[in-house]
Amino acid sequence: MLVSAKEMLNKARDGKYAVGQFNINNLEWTKAILLTAQELSSPVILGVSEGAGKYMAGYKTVVGMVNGMLEELKITVPVALHLDHGSYEGALKCIEAGFSSIMFDGSHYPIEENIQKTKELVKICNEKGLSLEAEVGSIGGEEDGVVGAGEFADPNECKAIAELGVTMLAAGIGNIHGKYPANWPGLNFETLAAVKEKTGNVPLVLHGGTGIPEDMIKKAISLGVAKINVNTECQLSFAAATRKYIEEGKDLQGKGFDPRKLLAPGFEAIKATVKEKMELFGSVGKA
Ligand SMILES: [Zn+2]
């Protein structure tokens, strides 16, 4: 059964580790992530962007697929199904469809409007027992066509949003979606420390987990980050493994064209990436 992300993130915050959010795109992605979490006895959050939800034929399809897998694969570790960077309307649709966790990304609105909309969703999510993530200060890079400049969040604005009763808070600290450019200056730990100081006990979320050096990840966790989002890295490892299979001509040998064979190396590559991240984040054995 899907659970809210609240308990797993509060435990992570107290235990000084982070729970990974891994975004899903299809059946192979979902199965790879769930099986790895179960094998490593780690809590996990499945992220679904609005674009990915549309790609997978709608939120109800996603909920049906994930719930089916939890039962058929006998997944017993805590799993949250989370809308990633949701609009207000998207959040309502996912709540209706049966998601257990919601991110409302109001970072592109003026702060008053972000506060107002987040407040309304806090009320709805509380009534239904769902976790809610809010965002202050846009994350750099591109997410489903929305390009953010990578601002540093204003700690006072973070405080105002945290006080609404959100479950977890994403604050921009120089992190970027996708691959990091060679001249990236790194995470801004002064901003992170200031946000932590103002927001107290609210677990913090680090978006754009692909390619952040290990020491920065560990430092971010020590400063209050309890959820780290990984998306691009699984895409890169899936693509590389699939490319290798085809370049080696394996799809032309015997029944190598069978999608269950053709997609197997990519599936294994996602599993390896998720394992690596769970070990780095410290969530192994924490289910
Ligand atoms: Zn993000």
Distance 255 CA to ligand 1 centre (A): 39
- Mean pLDDT along residues 214-236: 97
Residues 24-49: b if buried by 16+ CB within 10 A, e if exposed? bbeebbbbbbbbbbbebebbbbbbbb
Condensed to tens digits (0 to 9), the pLDDT of residues 180-191 reads 888 888 899 999
Selecting among 14, 84, 215, 258, the annotated active-site residue is: 84
DSSP tag of 75:
-
Least confident of 10-24, 173-187, 209-223, 248-262: 173-187
Choice between 140 and 182, residue whose per-residue pLDDT is larger:
182
Query: pTM of the full predicted structure?
Result: 0.95
Tokens 């006998």: give the residue: 74
Q: Compute, in angstroms, the gap from residue 218 CA to the centroid of ligand 1.
A: 19
Compute the distance between CA of residue 2 and CA of residue 213 in angstroms, rounded to an integer.
Answer: 31
Could you tell me the fold of the domain covering 6-281?
TIM Barrel (3.20.20)
Closest CA to 276 of 192, 188, 189, 217: 217
Does 146 score more than 60 pLDDT?
Answer: no
- Rounded to whole angstroms, the maximal C-alpha distance in the chain is 62
The pLDDT score that the predictor gives to residue 148 is: 53
CA 238 vs CA 93, 149, 262: distances in Å: 29, 27, 11
Confidence (pLDDT) at 147 = 54
pLDDT of residue 180: 84
126-148: string of b/e by CB count within 10 Å (b at 16+)? eeeebbbbbbbbbbbbebeebeb
The predicted model gives 134-141 an average pLDDT of 83
**Chain-wide mean pLDDT for the chain?**
95
Measured in angstroms, how far is the CA atom of residue 37 from the centroid of ligand 1? 21
How many A from CA of 124 to the centre of ligand 1? 22
Q: Which pLDDT value is given to residue 48?
A: 98
Smallest Cα–Cα separation from 141: which of 105, 179, 173, 104?
Answer: 179
How many angstroms separate the alpha carbon of residue 207 from the centre of ligand 1? 5
Query: Quick check: is 105 catalytic?
Result: no
Residue ranges in the chain assigned as alpha helix (H): 6-15, 27-40, 50-55, 59-72, 88-97, 111-128, 155-162, 189-199, 214-222, 232-247, 259-262, 264-281
Taking the C-alpha atoms of residue 161 and residue 137, their distance in angstroms, rounded to an integer, is: 11
For the stretch 25-68, pLDDT in tens is: 999 999 999 999 999 999 999 999 999 999 999 999 999 999 99
User: What is the reported pLDDT for 209?
Assistant: 87
Question: For residues 2 and 154, what is the distance between their CA atoms, to the nearest angstrom?
Answer: 33
Residues within 5 Å of ion ligand 1, judged at the Cβ atom: 207
What is the per-residue pLDDT for 140? 74
